[in-house]
Amino acid sequence: MSTAEVPVSNVLTSRAVKAGLVGGVVGVYVAAIGLVQRFDGRNAITGLISLGYVLYVAIALGTGFLASRKVRTLDDPGAPTTANIFVTGAIAGAVSGLFMVPFIWVIGQFEVRETFVNVSSALHDILTFEKGTGFAAMAWPLGGLALGALGAGFHPLVPRYRRPLLAGLLVVLFLSLMEPLVRVMLSDINKNVFAQVNLDIDEGWLYESGGMTIIGAVVIFAIAVAFTFRRFQKAEARLVALGGGPAPEEAEQTPLRRKISLGLLIVGLLILPQVVGSFPSEIIGVVGLYVLLGIGLNIVVGFAGMLDLGYVAFYAVGAYSVGILTSPASPLFAPQLSFWVALPIVLVITTIAGILIGAPVLRLRGDYLAIVTLGFGEMIRVIVQSDWASPMLGGAQGLLRVPAPPFFGGELRDPQAIYYLILACVLLVAFVAYRVKSSRIGRAWNAMREDEQVAESMGISIIKTKLLAFGLGAALASFGGMIFAAKIGSLFPNTFLLIVSINVLAIIVLGGMGSIPGVVVGAFVLVGIPEVLREFGEYRLLFYGLLLMVIMILRPEGVLPDVRRKRELHEAELEDEVLLAAAAVGGGALPGGARS
């Protein structure tokens, strides 16, 4: 132990300092770009802490946690002791706090606003807790020390306690961030549901002046912890029962329980817009449109393995087709069909558009395909804006007065009504994708994704299979476009930007390639949350990038991966272990090459 102890503490100290410096840089960065000041305007827990300080608490906790994680090398110089871990976390936290001190001093002494527009005296006040630079110079390192140690404290905790604790913190943070949305939802639920039975439970117990109440935070935290703890216990029991083997997910769900939960889910989905009110329904609607696009793109990228960056083209074709067919204001050709008559026609049009765009790129793969499809995506918008197409499509002035879908005398325009149309389409599109995935065509896509040449020599027509993917992907995307046109009522070329394609791609990467539930999760995270957090709009892309990076590092298969992908990555780990073991024994029987 005496020989091993020195290297362990050496490794840990250097890592603590490094992590502390990184934490410090992040701390200065978020202050310099104005994030702290903006966040400080919002309470996390009213009367206790603002979101700005939550940011720093999170940085310090994270620094301590990351600095003290287990050393994983083949020649592990011995496991760090619990004391080691706490000291490492504390050092890291203190270093990150210390890093802030000169920054605070500089912005207090000098006027740097010329260069750093966000560095104001208000920021200085926040960072010194309005108690002067001297106090800040003490408070930051000491606070960092304490929080860093606390962050490191997550390691010695067994997962059974760590997971629930983490879940509790995250849920509280999430709910305080989502205050604008949840607040409206709660007040609507009070109005729509509780008022019916003469109850008056408004949102006052949970939120107060933009943040959570202390009582609300404690209650939510307790509920989240208890719930996660219970789930974890069950999972553990199941693992033990199976003798440590991996537990199949559905094992504990009896058919009856499944049916009941499915039924509850359907009822929940049906009454959702009535319960939560108009504003949340609007957001759910936008998320739903992206789910439609995501499932469609998943066919092209996730199933068939073709990286399409111009997917917005099909969204646009769907939207404009329905616009031309239904709007009385369509400049050149205005048959003024009903939405429902136009729908099958548009499906045919977009399928053909998908095949037409797919045909020239049949021979391209990977990056080349991505670049060409990117071009196609832009072309559609440029064509709509062009002098040639403007008289037909309205150009930059837009294609206006697209009518809402008529429905039994009324029409589906307000968010709560169009929600049902979106829901129906999502279910339909998900069903189609799910069925096709496990069919003969799905297998062919899968094979083509794995090895195009071999798939071809196994009798799969690459031309036909690729065009099927493009055609179906385009048709599914057109559902999104059609509903978008009917919902908004006017179409402008600048709606169909490259960023839409990128968003949809990010959604399926985040959710998990080839996974249909993953698309739903991805759309909620990447579209729903930013819709709610509009006040932090300018920082949207920053979080976007950060989130994608974190996901790619921690869970490269996505949040809710396709079973196959999960196994693929998992088995790679297993294989590595086997190889390492084989290397350790010194006898890896590798297949010999052919002689001549």
Among positions 553, 554, 585, 594, the unique one binding another protein when judged by CB under 8 A: 594
Sort residue 244 into left (φ over 0), alpha (ψ -120 to 50) or beta.
left
Query: Is the Cβ of residue 58 or residue 436 nearer to another protein in the bound state?
Result: 436
Q: Does 443 bind another protein (CB under 8 A)?
A: yes
CB 443 to another protein: min, Å: 6
Query: Is the Cβ of residue 107 or residue 455 nearer to another protein in the bound state?
Result: 455
* Beta-carbon contacts of residue 70 (< 8 Å; ≥ 6 apart): 79, 80, 155
Stretch that binds another protein, among 128-136, 207-215, 316-324, 565-573 (CB under 8 A): 565-573
Interaction residues for another protein, span 570-589 (CB under 8 A): 571, 575
CB 363 to another protein: min, Å: 13
CB 459 to another protein: min, Å: 3
Interaction residues for another protein, span 198-237 (CB under 8 A): none
CB 507 to another protein: min, Å: 22
Q: Does 439 bind another protein (CB under 8 A)?
A: yes
Q: Which residues pair with 410 in a beta bridge?
A: 407
Q: Which of 506, 557, 512 is nearest to 290 (CA)?
A: 506
Query: Is the Cβ of residue 60 or residue 469 nearer to another protein in the bound state?
Result: 469
Query: Is the Cβ of residue 76 or residue 575 nearer to another protein in the bound state?
Result: 575
CB 258 to another protein: min, Å: 20
Counting residues that bind another protein (by CB under 8 A) gives: 39
Query: Is the Cβ of residue 417 or residue 516 nearer to another protein in the bound state?
Result: 516
1-21 b/e (C-beta count within 10 Å ≥ 16 → b): eeeeeeebbebbbebbbebbb
Among positions 430, 444, 508, 521, the unique one binding another protein when judged by CB under 8 A: 444
Q: How many CB atoms lie within 10 A of CB 493?
A: 24
Q: Does 591 bind another protein (CB under 8 A)?
A: yes
Q: Does 436 bind another protein (CB under 8 A)?
A: yes
Sort residue 493 into left (φ over 0), alpha (ψ -120 to 50) or beta.
alpha
Interaction residues for another protein, span 320-349 (CB under 8 A): none
Q: Does 593 bind another protein (CB under 8 A)?
A: yes
CB 593 to another protein: min, Å: 7
Provide the token pair at 295. Answer: 């499932």
Q: Does 596 bind another protein (CB under 8 A)?
A: yes
CB 310 to another protein: min, Å: 22
Q: Which residues pair with 207 in a beta bridge?
A: 212
SS3 track for 20-37: HHHHHHHHHHHHHCCHHH
CB 201 to another protein: min, Å: 45
CB 365 to another protein: min, Å: 16
Q: Does 595 bind another protein (CB under 8 A)?
A: yes
Q: Which residues pair with 406 in a beta bridge?
A: 411
Q: Own/partner pairs for 518-521, CB < 8 Å, 24+ apart?
A: 518/558, 518/559, 518/560, 518/561, 518/562, 519/291, 519/294, 519/295, 519/298, 520/291, 521/559, 521/560
| HSE-up (13 A, CA, CB side) for residue 544 | 22
Stretch that binds another protein, among 103-111, 133-141, 363-371, 560-568 (CB under 8 A): 560-568
Q: Does 174 bind another protein (CB under 8 A)?
A: no
Stretch that binds another protein, among 111-119, 124-132, 174-182, 437-445 (CB under 8 A): 437-445
CB 444 to another protein: min, Å: 6
Query: Is the Cβ of residue 433 or residue 560 nearer to another protein in the bound state?
Result: 433
CB 509 to another protein: min, Å: 17
Query: Is the Cβ of residue 454 or residue 549 nearer to another protein in the bound state?
Result: 454
Stretch that binds another protein, among 156-164, 271-279, 482-490, 562-570 (CB under 8 A): 562-570
Identify the residue whose tokens are 């009822």.
267
Cβ atoms of residues 164 and 229 within 8 Å: yes
Q: What single-letter DSSP state applies at residue 560?
A: S
Which residue stretches of 277-365 are H helix? 278-297, 312-326, 339-358
CB 571 to another protein: min, Å: 6
Among positions 111, 440, 537, 554, the unique one binding another protein when judged by CB under 8 A: 440
As to burial, measured by CB atoms within 10 angstroms (0-12 exposed, 13-18 middle, 19+ buried), residue 337 is middle
- Maximum C-alpha span of the chain: 90
Interaction residues for another protein, span 448-507 (CB under 8 A): 450-451, 453-462, 468, 472
Stretch that binds another protein, among 82-90, 309-317, 358-366, 441-449 (CB under 8 A): 441-449
Q: Does 435 bind another protein (CB under 8 A)?
A: yes
Residue type, 137: A
**52, 156, 304 from 447: Cα distances, Å:** 50, 45, 8
Q: Does 431 bind another protein (CB under 8 A)?
A: yes
Provide the token pair at 442. Answer: 């799905």
Q: Does 564 bind another protein (CB under 8 A)?
A: yes
Query: Is the Cβ of residue 38 or residue 443 nearer to another protein in the bound state?
Result: 443
Cβ atoms of residues 193 and 31 within 8 Å: no
Sheet holding 49-50, edge to edge: 49-50, 43-45, 211-212, 207-208
Stretch that binds another protein, among 5-13, 256-264, 396-404, 436-444 (CB under 8 A): 436-444
- Helices vs. strands in the chain: H and E counts, helices first: 24, 6
Cβ atoms of residues 317 and 384 within 8 Å: no
Cβ atoms of residues 178 and 216 within 8 Å: no
As to burial, measured by CB atoms within 10 angstroms (0-12 exposed, 13-18 middle, 19+ buried), residue 408 is exposed
Among positions 284, 287, 292, 441, the unique one binding another protein when judged by CB under 8 A: 441
Residues of this chain that bind another protein (CB under 8 A): 431-432, 435-436, 438-444, 446-447, 450-451, 453-462, 468, 472, 564-565, 567-568, 571, 575, 591-596
